[in-house]
Amino acid sequence: MPRFRYSSLVPSLVIQTSFLGDTILTTPLLATLAARGPVDAVVTPLGATILRGNPAVRELVVFDKRGADAGLRGVRRMASRLRAGGYTTAYMAQGSLRSAVLARAAHIARRVGFDTSAGRSLYTERVHYHREQHHAERLWRLAAGDDAPSPDADAIRPRLYPGADERAQVDALLAGFTGGPLVGLAPGSIWGTKRWPHFASLVAAIDGVRFAIIGSTEDSTVAETVASVAADRVLDVTGRLSLLASAELISRCAVLVANDSAPTHLASGVGTPTITLFGPTVPEFGFGPLAPRSETLGVDALPCRPCHPHGPRECPMGHFSCMRSLEASRVAARVRNLLA
Ligand code: SF4
C-alpha cells in the first residue's frame, strides 16, 4: 500500500457524490492529489464504504444528500462543516449545481470542475470534458490539467483496499469450494437494459471452472437461476458481502464477467481481468474496464445502439437485441481465452 509524502500541508477537497462506479473511478484523482498534500473527500454513505482504507484519503466526509442531509438545510450544515476544514481548493468530481453551491457556500476559493457540468457557472476553473477519454482520465485531469500528456495506464487505474476483515470473510466463504479456476459473474445492474440475460447459458457452456456470483440482494433472483444450472460449481454470494468484501472476492477470481456497471469498476480496482458486456451503452462513453487484459463485448452492427447514456428501463424498440443477440458461446470463448 503506498504511503504519501506531502509537498504541502494545505488540504484539498474532492467532492464526489455520484454513482458508485464514478466514486471508484475517482481514486486515480485522489492518488494524484495526495502526492501534493492532504486530501479529504465528500462522498455518499455508499461511496464511503468503498473508499474505506484508501491511503490517499485523509478524511471521508459523508454527505447523505438523499437522506439526513437532504435539502437546503443539509447543504448549509455541510458547508459549515467544510468551512471549518480550511480548504483552499475543491475538485468537483461530481458536477451538479448542488455540489457547486456547497463548495462556494463553504468559502472554498478555488473550485475546479468540468466545462459541461451543471454547476460550471460557479467554478473558478473549468477543465474540458473530453468525451473520447475514459472517465478515470477525465477525472484525473481535474488535477493534472487539460495540457498534461496522456497518462500511462497505471496512472488512471482505480485502486481499492480491502482489509483484513474482508480477506477473512472471503477466506471463510471459499473454504472447501475447490475444483478449477474461479470465474466471477456479476449479472446485476440498476439499469434494466444493461442486464445481459444469458449468464445461466454461460455457466452451462464452460466446464471445469468454479463460478462465484457477486451482487446485491436485488440480484438474488437472477443469481438463483444462474446457480441452478450447476449448483456444485456455483457459489452464490449475492447480498452477503460488503462492497469491499466483494472486491476482495473478485480479486481471487481469474476473470470477472460483468455488465456495464459497478462490478466492472470493482474489478478494475483490484486488477482482475474483466469481460464487460455492453448493450444499450458503449465503451466509448468512457466507463470500460481498466484492469490489465480486460475486454469488452457488444453487438456492433446494431443501428439503434447506443440508445441511452445509462440504459433505459426497457428497450424502446421492444426487441432488446443489443443484449439478447450477444450469445453465451461468444462470451464463453473469451473467458476460455483469458483462462488459458
Ligand atoms: S434500442 Fe437498441 S440499444 Fe437500446 S435497448 Fe433496445 S436493442 Fe438495446
The ligand 1 atom nearest the CA atom of 280 = 3
Domain 12-156 annotated CATH 3.40.50.2000: yes
Report yes or no: 160 and 185 within 8 Å, Cβ to Cβ.
no
| Among candidate residues 113, 89, 116, the one with its CA nearest the CA of residue 99 | 113
259, 300, 322, 323, best to mutate for ligand 1 pocket (most atoms within 8 Å of CB): 322
Q: Tell me: the pLDDT tens digits for 163-195?
A: 999 999 999 999 999 989 999 999 999 888 999
Question: In the block, which residue shows the cell 476482495?
Answer: 248
What predicted TM-score, i.e. pTM, was given to this entire model?
Answer: 0.94
Q: Whose CA is nearest to atom 6 of ligand 1?
A: 315
Enumerate the CATH 3.40.50.2000 domain ranges in the chain, comma separated.
12-156, 168-339
Give yes or no for a cis peptide into 306 (omega within 30° of 0): yes
Mean residue pLDDT across the chain: 95
- Digitized pLDDT (tens) for each residue of the chain, 340 residues in all: 655 555 567 789 999 999 999 999 999 999 999 999 999 999 999 999 999 999 999 999 999 999 999 999 999 999 999 999 999 999 999 999 999 999 999 999 999 999 999 999 999 999 999 999 999 999 999 999 999 999 999 999 999 999 999 999 999 999 999 989 999 999 999 888 999 999 999 999 999 999 999 999 999 999 999 999 999 999 999 999 999 999 999 999 999 999 999 999 999 999 999 999 999 999 999 999 999 999 999 999 899 999 998 889 999 999 999 999 999 999 999 999 999 9
Determine contact, residues 50/30, Cβ cutoff 8 Å. Answer: no
Question: For a pocket test of ligand 1, which of 285, 321, 324, 326 has the largest count of ligand atoms closer than 8 A to its C-beta?
Answer: 321
Amino acid at residue number 224: E
Rg (alpha carbons) of the chain, rounded to whole number: 20
In the CATH scheme, what is the code of domain 168-339?
3.40.50.2000
| Nearest atom of ligand 1 to the alpha carbon of 305 | 3
